[in-house]
Homo-oligomer: A and B are copies of this chain.
Amino acid sequence: MSTEDRVREALRGVVDPELGRNLVELGMVREVRAEDGKVAVTIALTTLSCPLRGSIAEDVRNAVQRLPGVSAIDVQLTAMNDEERARAFGKAQAPQAPLAESVNNIGSVFAVMSGKGGVGKSLVTGLLAVALRRRGLRVGILDADLTGPSVPKMFGLRDRPQPGQIGLLPVRSRSGIPIISINLFLEREDEAVIWRGPMVASAIKQFWGDVEWGDLDYMFVDLPPGTSDAPLTVLQSLPLAGTVIVSSPQDLAGMVVRKAARMAERLSVPIVGAVENMSYFACPDSGKQYEVFGHSRAEQLSNELGAPLLAKLPIDPTAADLCDRGQVEDYRAETVEQLGSAFLAAAAKRARAGAVR
């Protein structure tokens, strides 16, 4: 028997917990490849409804790993296409509609993007939410960074999202900011989410449509770096009012950030403002400011993007420390309040411009 056949046999032992039939019977095993002991399996799930489906991947991995001669296993999850679904269930079952969208009432949605990683996109997302929450606004955060999610740690959240009446309930921070992030679904915060694009896109859409966000004035979506699947899905699928672009003083960062800005332009999403992070380090002994990543290019960035500069944030060891402790909500600095005010002003201006158009 070939390795491929032995793998398929082994997958008869893996049962879809919801449907109570094994993956082979259900026609879910779309592809099996084996080479030099390395096995790659693609499983087509009925829907990628919720990230908890990871347990099927785990079961597949365990079943195949045991086989003699298998040294490595890669499991890809994808969703059945209409044909596969029809074969498995007959034409009756239609694809599921987003669960909770009807009960959600979300004012304005803004994506926080940078293209380049590590410039402080998640910090800016967190600080924007904190600043607006302090003003009594209802703000939520959708963490669309599935492979490097930082929002829960920053807010000190570890609870799993619980099922609500219709969809999943977001987890609430101490000051009452509802948050959804893949890291809230993982057993260990440093577990890797090794998903290819389609699975990433599907999870983001569920975070939007299957979560009971309720009434919000603002939602911030924290994007991962790059201009590939996750940012593309957010810019194409969510009803964005605009994006906030984050950069750092390095010209090299600026180049990558401009790529992200171009992507937003191409997809007709307005840029409402720019934030320069890590602009300088204020020496605690002398008070002198050092531009440790080079000379600030904040004004230049703002001009290039045709968007107002919302803030120039310093490198602040206190902020880094509070984020590591999960206490970003305790961070008080004038720059945060200014960031909040500048954002609200820019968003209001953009909304008026949109209404006139």
Contact = CB atoms under 8 A, between A and B. Distances in A.
A290 interface: yes
A91 B286 CA distance: 75
A263 to B, nearest CB: 4
A292 interface: yes
Contact of A250 (B191, B194, B256, B323): B323
Given A250-B324, A266-B192, A281-B290, A225 B228 contact: no
A321 B195 CA distance: 36
Given A255-B153, A281-B290, A283-B290, A197 B198 contact: yes
A119 B116 contact: no
Contacts of A116: 117-118, 148
A126 to B, nearest CB: 11
A81 B305 CA distance: 40
A189 interface: yes
Given A148-B117, A267-B74, A324-B251, A228 B262 contact: no
Work out how many copies of this chain go into the complex.
Answer: 2
Interface residues of A, number: 68
Contacts of A38: 236
Interface string A285-326: 110101111100000000000000000000101001101100
Contact of A228 (B71, B194, B236): B194
A232 interface: yes
Contact of A189 (B74, B255, B293): B255
A234 interface: no
A191 B258 CA distance: 8
B115 A118 contact: no
A90 interface: no
A259 interface: yes
Majority-rule SS of A interface residues:
loop
Contacts of A225: 117-118, 147-148, 224-226
Contacts of A125: none
A260 B192 CA distance: 7
A258 B190 contact: yes
A216 to B, nearest CB: 24
A196 interface: yes
Contact of A292 (B74, B266, B317): B317
Interface in A91-150: 115-119, 146-150
Interface of A: 38, 71-72, 74, 115-119, 146-150, 153-154, 189-198, 200, 224-230, 232, 236, 248, 250-253, 255-256, 258-260, 262-263, 266-268, 281, 283-286, 288, 290-294, 315, 317, 320-321, 323-324
20 contacts: A38-B236, A72-B268, A115-B148, A116-B117, A117-B118, A117-B119, A118-B119, A150-B256, A189-B255, A190-B256, A192-B260, A194-B227, A197-B197, A197-B198, A224-B226, A252-B323, A252-B324, A281-B281, A292-B317, A294-B324
